[in-house]
Amino acid sequence: MSGRREEEGRWIRQLRSQHLKSLNDQLDSFATDDESERIMEFCDALVNAVIAEDGGLVLINYLTRKASEDANFPAAVLLNSFIAKCEGSLSNQANLILPGLLNLYTSSNPQIVDLTIDAADSLTKCMNQRELVGVMPVVHSMIDNIVVAAAGKGQQIPGFQRAKGLRPLGLILQNSIVSKKEMEMGMAAQTLGTIVKIAEVCTLQDVFMSIIIPLIQIYKIDLQANLKVIILSSMSTVLDKLSMSLHPFLPQLQSTFLNALHDQSRPVRLAAGGGLVRLVKIHQNPEVMMTELLHESSLATARALIAACPDEMMSQSTIEKIYHVTEQILSETVENPSEIDDSVPAYSAALLGETIKKNDLWTDAISLLQDIKSPKPRLRQGMGYLLQQLCSNADIWPDDLKEYIYAAGLQSAFQSTDPIVVSSALRAASFILKSSYDPKIFSTVIQFIKHEDADIRRTTVVAVGHMFYGTEWPNDVLKLIVPQLIKGCYGCNDRVLAVRSASQLALVHALKMTENEVRFKECREALDENDQRYLDATRAILVTRIQSGNIELEPLDTIQKVD
């Protein structure tokens, strides 16, 4: 105990003045005293002596550290009292003072937290806009640090659970948001989202509601794309937490998100879509918004809205509108397509798939999938994506329709000469195999591991990796694919780096090597000598990937979603 105490107090020996050491002794003697007036009365002379010899900033740093490391309540009393007395004279040193105060927001002593909040409030009230904006970088960094540290320990931040604790921060954020300085605006929006995520709803109502309108007002077309994403994401976070309190702001929020859907940047469009998904949950007439979205061809957002909204939102007229819009899009011939043009078939198909799932329109799906054989590239690719989307929900298909969907979609897609359609079929098959093993589908999938197209080979291996991820498969299944994966990741069958890398990951998950080597040894014994040599040569590569943490599979669902 004495050793730990000596370690914790080592910094005391580095204090520069005798007065500061005397104050330290005095505070230790009052450690169990909770009478603020008595503490200030006995320590007032020493405080003044320290200020005279070392300066106010040294005193603040000392008291902050004393309250933090020793959980010393008297130190917090003096800290709050001194900052309150100084009024505006400390504002030019706020960037040096606020990190220590924010650190005390995490104190386990409620009295220290309350006093620290009062000190932060006194400090920020005396700061002008330039000074408030100037401390935004250090506040942003410090809040990130304490949030990460608290999350790592599974703890809350007491200062963020009090409404008054958010007031000084709200003042800094609000002034930074309206400052027109892009760096500070972005930091403020990010910090707003961070605090809103972890604070209690009751503490946010009064403080952060006043920030919403400035946040909406600063969203302009001439902002950089990354800043637009930050602002839109922050709005979405606030909607997650304070949705029922934001009804007065629905028109402004809706206008902001809808305008952002026209942005040239895909991340901006997707961030706007994420906001609309949250907005529709509290919208009084969501079908009107859906119709407007379809006119704008904001298909990814429309898909997310369908998934998020109640069943009664989908009237027959809305369903017919969706069918009409997607048919027009997929039947269109586009010369020199842009990035957006290339992504539209996938978005259209995902919207169709979500509509079919939401309304149990499975017979429509069988009819639509016939167009996988279409000579029109956008139409057949769109139906390939529709197959992928439908198979991602294969576990909810009606049993009497499964064979029809397989025949209408999967078999035709596997026979296609269009690499995009074949890749969609491989992903679709992986979704099916993850939910239930089908030997016929599996044997078809693994044939594509030797396909002449490198992208199809890579997609095949990715599909196999997802099939094995998180699922135990019998050795007779592994024996069909493991030898090919071994040769693929060792470079014998494939010279393409992306295919080799995907083969390595598939093998790691097939043999459950992240858990132990039991499955590895069992599989090795079942192989012939030649394959055993390849497996032994590959083992070092696989172990290195596991040790580096580089074992995340490429996403199986390639159709972009809004968050």
What is the model's pLDDT at position 52? Answer: 60
Lowest mean pLDDT among 125-129, 233-237, 248-252, 430-434: 248-252
Question: Distance of CA 442 to CAs 90, 116, 425, 463, 558, Å?
Answer: 71, 63, 12, 10, 21
Question: Distance of CA 507 to CAs 464, 477, 481, 545, 557, Å?
Answer: 9, 13, 9, 11, 20
Question: d(Cα 488, Cα 500) in Å, to the nearest integer?
Answer: 6
Mean pLDDT of the chain: 81
Residue 313 has pLDDT above 70, yes or no: no
Average of per-residue pLDDT across 165-194: 91
Distance between first and last Cα of the chain: 50
Neighbouring CB atoms inside 10 A of 547's CB total: 9
Residue 424 has pLDDT above 90, yes or no: yes
Q: Tell me: the pLDDT tens digits for 454-473?
A: 899 999 999 999 988 877 88
Smallest Cα–Cα separation from 369: which of 313, 318, 320, 330?
Answer: 330
What is the model's pLDDT at position 233? Answer: 92
Residue, of 14 and 423, whose pLDDT is higher = 423
Question: d(Cα 237, Cα 511) in Å, to the nearest integer?
Answer: 40
3-state helix, strand, coil in the chain (%, to 5): 80, 0, 20
- Confidence tier at 535 by pLDDT (50, 70, 90): confident
What is the model's pLDDT at position 297? Answer: 45
Residue 7 has pLDDT above 50, yes or no: no
Question: Distance of CA 464 to CAs 21, 478, 480, 527, 536, Å?
Answer: 68, 11, 12, 19, 21
The tokens for 121 are 């409030």
What is the model's pLDDT at position 302? Answer: 65
Q: Distance between alpha carbon 351 and the CA centroid of its chain, in Å?
A: 23
Question: d(Cα 155, Cα 158) in Å, to the nearest integer?
Answer: 9
Residue 294 has pLDDT above 50, yes or no: yes
What is the identity of the amino acid at 215?
L
**CA atoms 212, 213, 214, 218: torsion sign:** positive
Phi, psi (rounded to 5 degrees) for 518: -60, -50
DSSP 554: P
CB of 518 closer than 8 Å to CB of 527 = no
Residues listed for the chain = 563
332 CB-near residues (< 8 Å, 6+ apart)? 378
CB of 496 closer than 8 Å to CB of 541 = no
Average of per-residue pLDDT across 233-259: 83
Question: d(Cα 161, Cα 199) in Å, to the nearest integer?
Answer: 6
DSSP 87: G
What is the model's pLDDT at position 434? Answer: 86
CB of 246 closer than 8 Å to CB of 257 = no
Q: What is the pTM of this model?
A: 0.58
Question: Using H for helix, E for strand and C for coil, what is the string for 144-180?
Answer: HHHHHHHHHHCCCCHHHHCHHHHHHHHHHHHHHHCCC
Torsion of CA 528, 534, 539, 545, to 10 degrees: -130
Q: What angle do CA 504, 508, 510 make, to 5 degrees?
A: 110
What is the identity of the amino acid at 183?
M
The tokens for 562 are 């809004």
Q: Tell me: the pLDDT tens digits for 272-281?
A: 888 888 887 7
Torsion of CA 378, 381, 387, 388, to 10 degrees: -120
Lowest mean pLDDT among 286-300, 324-338, 349-363, 449-463: 286-300
The H or E element spanning position 465 is helix 454-468
What is the model's pLDDT at position 493? Answer: 53
